[in-house]
């Protein structure tokens, strides 16, 4: 009730949500998600890409030309596999580096008060913009993580993920 009251208030509030369930209360650390059965990327300069991946959805984040792409998978993935697949999706679509399992993104139905990019004289200048579906999930069966990897040009997800995992552990102190 308190959350919905905050959403309904007319004053300037930007609301963000993590699209992954996290395992440890208020800690939002990378790799701390309970289950990873989707990948995502954040796109600025979105021209509604022709994402033909089964199980994909597109959210307009409120700022004109900006959005999020989500692609579900039928099986859960490790943190390293998630990183590899999100990085590949971002590269394929020209997205930015916002694709960790601890990201916070604007949920559909909330308001984006960041209207400076609209420009003076635009009819929506100064007014909050609604975060909305550009393409809703279509209800089709999602791809396996291996099929998704192949569609994104990754021939061997296990090898790519172990390489990513090795780089991450060697960059940690004592690793």
Q: What is the DSSP string of 36-98?
A: --EEEEEEES--------TTEEEEE-SSTTEEEEEEEBSS---HHHHHHHHHHHHHHHT--S-
Q: Chain-centre distance of CA 2, in angstroms?
A: 26
Cα dihedral 134, 61, 58, 77 in deg (nearest 10): -160
Q: Which two tokens stand for residue 74?
A: 């039928």
Q: Which two tokens stand for residue 80?
A: 């390293």
Buried residues in 19-40 as b, exposed as e (16+ CB within 10 A): ebeeeeeeebeeebbeebbbbb
* pLDDT at residue 174 in the model: 45
pTM to 2 decimal places: 0.79
CA dist list (Å): 76 to 20, 34, 79, 145: 12, 10, 10, 8
* pLDDT at residue 171 in the model: 44
- How do the pLDDT tens digits run along the chain, 175 residues long? 666 666 666 566 788 888 888 787 667 778 888 889 999 998 887 665 566 788 889 999 887 788 899 999 999 999 999 999 999 999 988 888 778 888 888 899 888 887 655 556 565 566 788 899 988 988 889 999 999 999 999 999 999 999 876 655 444 444 4
Q: At what angle do helices 157-171 and 79-93 cross, to 10 degrees?
A: 110
What are the φ and ψ backbone dihedral angles of 44, each rounded to 5 degrees?
-110, 135
* pLDDT at residue 173 in the model: 43
* pLDDT at residue 119 in the model: 59
Burial class of residue 77, CB neighbours in 10 A (0-12, 13-18, 19+): buried
């Amino acid at each position: 009730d308190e959350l919905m009251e905050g959403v309904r208030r007319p004053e300037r509030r930007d609301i963000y949500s993590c699209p992954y369930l996290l395992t440890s209360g208020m800690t939002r650390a990378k790799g701390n998600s309970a289950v990873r059965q989707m990948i995502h990327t954040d796109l600025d300069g979105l021209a509604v890409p022709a994402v033909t991946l089964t199980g994909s959805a597109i959210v307009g984040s409120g700022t004109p030309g900006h959005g999020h792409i989500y692609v579900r998978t039928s099986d859960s993935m490790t943190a390293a596999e998630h990183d590899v697949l999100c990085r590949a999706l971002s590269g394929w679509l020209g997205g930015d580096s916002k694709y960790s399992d601890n990201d916070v993104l604007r949920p559909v139905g909330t308001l984006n008060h960041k209207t400076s990019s609209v420009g003076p004289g635009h009819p929506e200048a100064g007014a909050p913009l609604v975060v909305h579906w550009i393409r809703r999930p279509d209800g089709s069966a999602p791809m396996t993580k291996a099929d998704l990897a192949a569609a994104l040009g990754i021939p061997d997800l296990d090898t790519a993920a172990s390489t990513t995992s090795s780089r991450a552990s060697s960059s940690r102190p004592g690793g």
